[in-house]
Amino acid sequence: MSAQSQNSFSYTQKIQLDGALGRTGEITTPHGTIQTPAFIPVGTKATVKAVLPETMGELGAQALLANAYHLYLQPGPEIVDEAGGLGKFMNWSGPTFTDSGGFQVLSLGVGFKKVIAMNEDTFRDDQVIADGKDRLAHVDDDGVTFKSHLDGSMHRFTPEVSIGIQHQLGADIMFAFDECTTLHNTRGYQQKSLERTRLWAKRCLVEHGRLTELRSDKPYQALFGVLQGAQYEDLRRKAAKDLSGLNEDGITFDGFGLGGALDKEKLGTIVSWLCEELPDNKPRHLLGIGEPDDLFVGVENGADTFDCVAPSRQARTSAVFTQDGRVNLTNSKYQRQFSPIDESCDCYTCTHYTAAYLNHLFKAKEMLASTLATIHNERFIVRLVDQMRDAITTGEFYNLKTEFLGRFYSAKI
Ligand SMILES: [Zn+2]
């Protein structure tokens, strides 16, 4: 039996956004459904730092995403497998995602970011990622050799290794192993890398088919192909056509990850190039994006799900979202604000605690500060994308976008 025939994974498109590629829909997985567009909070090591999984459910998270690289190093995928898979291991009954580890292993020691604030004319140098004495990772046509950030030990990921790890982790949605490039790379390198990622995608499908049969007693795991191509229209369109057309003995991708180097200025254009080429009946996940303006652009141009570690990471540094922009709770102006962080927020923190209390907790370096701030930030972003989904349904998307972004990015309180 092929992976596809025992597939309990599906996507249904519902309402299309007027004049754009945006849409609402529903993803069905063995652990429940996800109404899209949706923001998927990141629990890197099978935990959203400082917050109970139960609380993540209460604040509206429909699914959680963990990182294969981190769980491979600690505690090891075999432990998570023996525990009954990622969801069971962390007491999360809803859908789960894992990334392939590609971004983490390739970015080790390079320090590159998903979105790099620079334009196309900026200096490029393949040495940034091709090789280099101080790098912790080396990529070749077969895979990536890298040094653990924990103990310096050497490891190697290939497409087969990444898919094997992700099958052991047992998430509902997994991603193909890809080479993540940066905007620093030359066009020649991007082209070469894209072909490498295409060949790796084929190997991922073959291994995925093999493991799905071998582990047929486990719930079906969907595999998304990851589309690279940086800022080049022809390369991006080629990636989408190539990967959506792949069929290895009946095994095809269940959805797609929109990945790689994404210039913030061109984010919407790049997402639209990809979504124009992709089939309507499969979901699209925009990897590593979580800023409010980027989320609006992603939703408008056809992305269905998003993940980003930023809301929780920023919360732990006392940076929280409000309708009027991001603010820092350690600012002395909050010392006597005996009202919530954001009056319009319906999160547990805002309905039970004041900004003054959080200001005190952060200044006193109390652990509860991280918990309460993370609950607020995750709820803020989950709810914002939920509001975008509702607004597509009611025909109010563009009004919401103008109103929200106008207030969030202009007013400085
Ligand atoms: Zn709140």
From 96-100, 126-130, 173-177, 331-335, the region with the lowest mean pLDDT: 126-130
Q: Which amino acid is at 46?
A: A
pLDDT tens for each residue of 47-96: 999 999 999 999 999 999 999 999 999 999 999 999 999 999 999 999 99
How much is the average pLDDT of 157-175?
A: 98
pLDDT tops 80 at residue 180: yes
Residues 235-248: pLDDT tens digits? 999 999 999 999 99
The pTM is what?
A: 0.93
Q: What is the rounded average pLDDT of the residues 147-170?
A: 93
CA distance 62 to 382: 9
Mean pLDDT of 301-323: 98
Helices of type H across 246-366: 267-277, 292-300, 310-316, 348-352, 355-363
Compute, in angstroms, the gap from residue 47 CA to the centroid of ligand 1: 20
What the block records as the tokens of 402 is 């103008």
DSSP-derived secondary structure letter, 309: S
Q: Is the pLDDT of residue 113 over 50?
A: no
- Of 129-138, 281-290, 323-332, 336-345, the least confident: 129-138
Query: Kind of pairing, strands 173-175 and 222-227?
Result: parallel
Distance 380 CA to ligand 1 centre (A): 6
* Residue 55 alpha carbon to ligand 1 centre in Å: 13
Is residue 3 over pLDDT 50? Answer: no
Task: Report the pLDDT value the prediction gives residue 262, as an integer from 0 to 100.
Answer: 85
- CA 350 – ligand 1 centroid, Å: 4
pLDDT of residue 7: 61
**CATH superfamily of domain region 10-308:** Queuine tRNA-ribosyltransferase-like (3.20.20.105)
Mean pLDDT of 168-195: 93
pLDDT tens for each residue of 206-232: 999 999 999 999 999 999 999 999 999
Average pLDDT value for residue range 271-291:
97
User: Is residue 135 predicted with pLDDT exceeding 90?
Assistant: no
- Examine the pLDDT at 134 and tell me if it is beyond 80: no
Q: State the catalytic residues.
A: 99, 307
Cα–Cα distance, 194 to 187 (Å, whole number): 10
**How high is the pLDDT of residue 103?**
86
Q: Dihedral sign for Cα 282, 13, 310, 89, please.
A: negative
Q: How far is CA 31 from the centre of its chain?
A: 19
Phi first, then psi, for residue 72 (nearest 5°) are -65, -45
Separation of CA 408 and ligand 1 centre (Å) = 15
If pLDDT is split at 50, 70 and 90, which confidence band does 401 have?
very high
Domain boundaries, the chain: 10-308, 318-396
* Burial 84-111, CB ≥16 within 10 A → b, else e: ebbbebbebebbbbbbbbbbbbbbbebe
Alpha-carbon gap, residue 213 to 246, rounded angstroms: 19
Q: Residue 261 — pLDDT band, cuts 50, 70, 90?
A: confident
The helix/strand count (H/E) of the chain reads as 15, 16
**352 CA from centroid of ligand 1 (Å):** 9
Q: How confident is the model at residue 411 (pLDDT cuts 50, 70, 90)?
A: low
Q: Is the pLDDT of residue 43 over 90?
A: yes
